[in-house]
Amino acid sequence: MPNPPLYAQKWSELRARIRAKGGAPAVAEQALAAIEANLALNPYRKVDPDRVRAEARAADARIAADMRAPALAGLPVSVKDLYVAEGYDTFAGTTRALDAHFPEEGPVVRALRDASVVVTGKTHTVEFAFGGIGTNPHYPTPVNPWDAKTERVSGGSSSGAGVSLWAGTAALALGSDTAGSVRVPASFTGCIGLKTTQGRWAIDGIVPLSPTLDTAGVLALDADIVAEAFRAIDPAGRNAASLPRHVAGVRLGVLKSAFEGAEPGIGEAVDRALKELEAAGAILVDVELPVVRDAIDLFHVGGVAGVEFAANINNRFPEWREALDPNVLERFARIEQATAVEYIRRLNALDAMAAAGGKAMDDAGVDALVGPTAPISPPTVQEVAAAERYVDRNLLALRNTVVGNFLRLSGFTIPAGLDAAGLPVGLQVMTRADADAYAVGLMLATARVLGQPYDRLGAPPRVR
């Protein structure tokens, strides 16, 4: 009997397969076969089958020689093409390699290398990660696998990450998150996505969008795989699985503003998931935090990411400017108009928001803030081809997630269900700054109630 696709395998099952003699190469071959079968979904910019097989053989040898080999040894992992990864050029969604500017792997990739994971390839990203929709005119758009008839976006900027998971080509995906670029793709494609606190994981070896806000993160279809990745990358969080073990007694602040303008079925799916958590003992508390509105207002006037992105292009990559995605270039002139005084004002506003956010959570007596990860369904590729519609959808897609970045929170998104169109809906759970280990523990506890993505959603109709 053939093995089920990677997206349908629990971590315990997959780990047992990989630990068996010849297991890592066998799983790698399954991932490579899935890549070939699902080429139409376009998750990858680059795959090197020979390198994949070589890394799988090396992992298999390490497992055979060492009973204490790392838990992730042999695990297939896709890497966003914003990360430097040995053996692969880094394009960051552009038309040219940036290897001369970013020659070395950073700590996040090195930690996974040390664990002997198998890199299945470089996944597509929005150009320079500047966008939450997932399109990039330089490359084919990764196709959301949840609509059998219409091509829809997968979310950005880690646009290929969630698709690589549901296509059965990887069991873990590396992404990055500046305003929601892990959580939006995870929500749009029905994955679990972890956002770390800014500065928790070093971002060396990752092409920057906004050094002030950039964070590294991971996506998976099993909460236990996310937890194992967290332990591998973040030694200080190795006991994350132990707290909390249950949602009972956890006070969840339900952000009613996050539900505003939600498209059909999104608020309902999140409400159902919250009721399940409440039935398991979580305490739901309706909250209205003015600082959340302040964060959204700052986002609408540009925040700091755009200013830092423009400075990066003009100072480091001026020759790239005219070749930028028109959706990016169209906003460039307005971004450049921000003065140094205005930029510093926004930085100061972010500091104030971070302090106010933590105090507001303390005053409300809540352990986490919850609501829909994104208030909109994944748009069709055709819909966001028009510049005005792209801007509108992009702002809405990132509206709820950017709050976590501006308030410097940690947290995760997990599938709540399907919306009225049969597309995935994410439940966002944001915890305090530097409470990353707590967030991972709460993610595990939440998954015990809501189930893993495949159990809750089933299989996407477009996957072969």
pLDDT, average across residues 81-100: 96
Q: Looking at the 3D structure of the chain, how many domains does it have? A: 1
Residue 347 φ/ψ, nearest 5 degrees: -60, -45
* pLDDT band at residue 14 using 50, 70 and 90 as cut-offs: very high
CA 129, CA 98: separation in Å to the nearest integer?
14
How far apart, in whole angstroms, are the C-alpha atoms of residue 442 and residue 93?
33
Question: Is the pLDDT assigned to residue 379 strictly greater than 70?
Answer: yes
105 pLDDT above the threshold of 90:
yes
pLDDT in tens, 394-443: 999 999 999 999 999 999 999 999 999 999 999 999 999 999 999 999 99
CA atoms within 13 A on the CB side of 461: 10
The model's pLDDT over 228-259, given as tens digits with 9 standing for 90+, comes to: 999 999 987 766 655 778 999 999 999 999 99
The tokens for 275 are 């009721």
Kindly report the CATH number assigned to the domain that includes residue 10: 3.90.1300.10
CA nearest to 415, candidates 423, 425, 401: 425
**Residue 329's pLDDT band (boundaries 50, 70, 90)?**
confident
Per-residue pLDDT at 115 exceeds 80: yes
Has residue 108 been placed in a domain?
Answer: yes
Strands 251-255 and 283-287: parallel
Q: What is the 3-state secondary structure (H, E, C) of 73-101?
A: CCCEEEEECCECECCECCCCCCCCCCCCC
pLDDT score of 281 more than 80: yes
Report yes or no on 220 lying in a domain. Answer: yes
Q: Where are the beta strands (DSSP E) in 226-318?
A: 251-255, 283-287
Check pLDDT > 70 for residue 171: yes
**189 in a structural domain:** yes
Domain that holds residue 103: 6-457
Q: 28 falls in which pLDDT band (50, 70, 90)?
A: very high
pLDDT level of residue 336 (50, 70, 90 thresholds):
confident
Q: Which of 10-19, 122-131, 331-340 has the lowest mean pLDDT?
A: 331-340
* Whether residue 97 has pLDDT greater than 90: yes
**pLDDT mean across residues, the chain:** 96
Residue 462 lies in a domain: no
pLDDT (mean) for 19-37: 98
Within a domain: 1: no
Cβ contact 189:163 at 8 Å: yes
pLDDT band at 344 (very low <50, low <70, confident <90, very high): very high
Amino acid letter for position 237: G
Per-residue buried b or exposed e for 108-138, using 16+ beta carbons within 10 Å of the residue's own CB: bbbbbeebbbbbbbbbbbbbbbbbbbbbbee
Residue 463 falls within a domain, yes or no? no
Helix ranges, 116-177 (H)? 161-166
How crowded is the C-beta side of 11, counted as CA atoms within 13 Å? 17
Residue 23: inside a domain, yes or no? Answer: yes
Calculate mean pLDDT across residues 344-369: 97
| Residue 212 in this model has a pLDDT that exceeds 70 | yes
Does residue 352 form part of some domain? Answer: yes
Per-residue pLDDT tens for 31-82?
A: 999 999 999 999 999 999 999 999 999 999 999 999 899 999 999 999 999 9
Q: What is the pLDDT of residue 2?
A: 84
pLDDT band at 331 (very low <50, low <70, confident <90, very high): confident
- In this structure, of 87-101, 236-250, 265-279, 305-319, the range with the lowest mean pLDDT score is 236-250
Q: Check residues 12 and 1 and name the one with the higher pLDDT.
A: 12
1 pLDDT exceeds 70? no
**Matching residue, tokens 């998150």:** 177
The whole-number pLDDT of residue 322 equals: 83
> What positions carry a catalytic annotation?
80, 157, 181
